[in-house]
Amino acid sequence: MKFDYANPYTSTRIPVFARNVVSTSHPLAAQAGLRILQQGGNAVDAAVATAAVMTLVEPVSNGLGSDSFCILWDGERLHGLNASGCSPETWTPEYFRRKYGNNAATPPQRGMDSVTVPGAVGSWVMLSEHFGKLPFEDLMAPAIEIAERGYLVPPVVQQKWAAATPILQSHPGFAQTFLPWGRAPQVGDLFKFPAAARALKAIAATKGDAFYSGEIAEAIERFSNANGGSLKVRDLSNWRPEWVEPISQTYRGHTLHEIPPNGQGIAALIALGILEHFDMASIPVDSVAAQHLQIEAMKLAFADTYRYVSDPSSMELSPLQMLDGAYLASRAKLINVKKAQDFKAGNPVKGGTIYLTAADERGMMVSFIQSNYMGFGSGCVEPEFGISLQNRGHGFTLDEKHPNVVEPRKRPFHTIIPAFLTKDGKPVMSFGVMGGNMQPQGHMQTLVRMLDHGQNPQAACDAPRWRFNSGLEINAEGSMDPAMVQGLGELGHQVEVINDSYQDFGAGQFIWRAGDPAVEGYVAASDARRDGQAAGY
């Protein structure tokens, strides 16, 4: 595919062309990945090393207590890995009602009763064992060095750190770990993380066993017991990452692949399956009409996703039913091109996150995402090893009639989704867009720009975004043309302009295969909404 390399949007970045490339939201992490590639590692090795560094340099979004997912092209076929953790064996609706009252609708947003088993470390080990070339200990070395020596806090991360501090500073372990200055950091403050260095050394030496059944697991249980939680060593040791077959949807001769439920990637597939019934290429890319159609398709997708998606063992419908072609065609007919609508779920039976991507000259491509969910996650940090724990348990419901109801040893509904694009069974692009429910919306918006309008990955990344919330409510990025905002409002969208791009509009990383990786290499982009970098050689 030939891209237009003229970028019509204000940008601080240009596409990166290289045979080996890593793209992520912090330069030190991207450079750690390149270091591993230059040592003879492959794209999986680079992705694992990069992910480990990201737990340190962007703690506002992820940590050693994160979950993760991955889609990778091994040179011959796609593989999916679901490393989202399960709930403790004590969790039931009654457990939460007893502790938080009969009016509680979900597990709490923060605290130890929002923490499920962290899966990220398990994913690193699994990926390394199955596809890596270098010893696992080598992959942890860049992160250990950064944890011990420290790094200077960059601008975007500093903003989010400062914003979270008033909310989380009283949570156990948070101030001790993340406020060593006695306050939130300023830009350029040196942050060292010796506790995480201890954890990473133990993880490296035991290939993760210390985290799930050894000294780190025991420290997590002690910390949980001391702070009102129920997470035990047996919850950690009984959990394993799961290899899964990606689900897919064709669009404009290409195929988008996503991790199947319990994640929300199916929402991007549904939206594109609906847009396939409209001639998007004939509508100007930054017109009100083009954005209106995408918003309405996304609303329809979320209506079904929020109704039906949960842990696969509890779903009433299969992904194939939700992606049935005739059903998506019927949903497309519900869109009124002149009016915004509030859609409900249909009946298919009739028919704060980090993302990184790496690719090498041998053709391996990795799409990887890990997250603590809401910024620093639960706000709870086990202090001996610096384990900043996610709050994915808040994604459950206590409604016993809903498929996503909390149960023992169950995965909650998940927002983080890596993505991968192929054509005719061959790899085209590994990519992702971070940020809660912005993720499938970002997948759809950027793909429409690239596949329908030929915008290059960096331009598609830089373009102003909108974000659907609920009902008729959408957010528009502050850089969006006021005429666009007005036009959407005239169609009935309730538009609020937001200037916080990090929080509300996500950030993407893209690696597009330009041809033979050993000859033409790749085109990479990194989102200017964060501190990141696409780096290659």
| Distance of alpha carbon 10 from alpha carbon 245, whole angstroms | 38
Kindly provide the b/e burial profile for residues 283-313, where b requires at least 16 CB atoms within 10 angstroms of the residue's own CB.
bebbebbbbbbbbbbbbbbbbbbbbbbbbbe
Q: Which of 356, 281, 358 is nearest to 513 (CA)?
A: 358
Active site residue 353: yes
Report the distance separating Cα 149 and Cα 155, nearest Å. 20
Catalytic residue among 50, 55, 353, 422: 353
How many DSSP H helices and E strands does the chain contain?
A: 20, 21
Report the C-alpha gap between 332 and 208 in whole angstroms: 47
**Residue 54 main-chain phi, psi, to 5 deg:** -60, -30
CA distance to 419, 456, 507, per residue, from 503 (Å): 20, 24, 9
Helix (H) or strand (E) holding 447: helix 438-447
Name the CA radius of gyration of the chain, rounded.
Answer: 22
Nearest to 242, CA basis, from 64, 42, 411: 411
Determine contact, residues 53/124, Cβ cutoff 8 Å: no
Distance of alpha carbon 287 from alpha carbon 285, whole angstroms: 6
Q: Find where tokens 């939206």 sit.
A: 271
The C-alpha atoms of residue 464 and residue 477 are separated, in whole angstroms, by 6
Q: What sign for the dihedral angle of Cα 245, 246, 248, 252?
A: negative
- Residues whose CB is less than 8 angstroms from the CB of residue 382 and which lie 6 or more positions away in sequence, other chains included: 65, 173, 219, 220, 223, 389
Work out the widest C-alpha separation in the chain, in whole angstroms: 63
Per the rule left: phi > 0, alpha: psi between -120 and 50, beta: everything else, 288 is alpha
From 287, 353, 292, select the one nearest 505 (Cα to Cα). Answer: 353
Question: Which residues are identified as catalytic?
Answer: 353
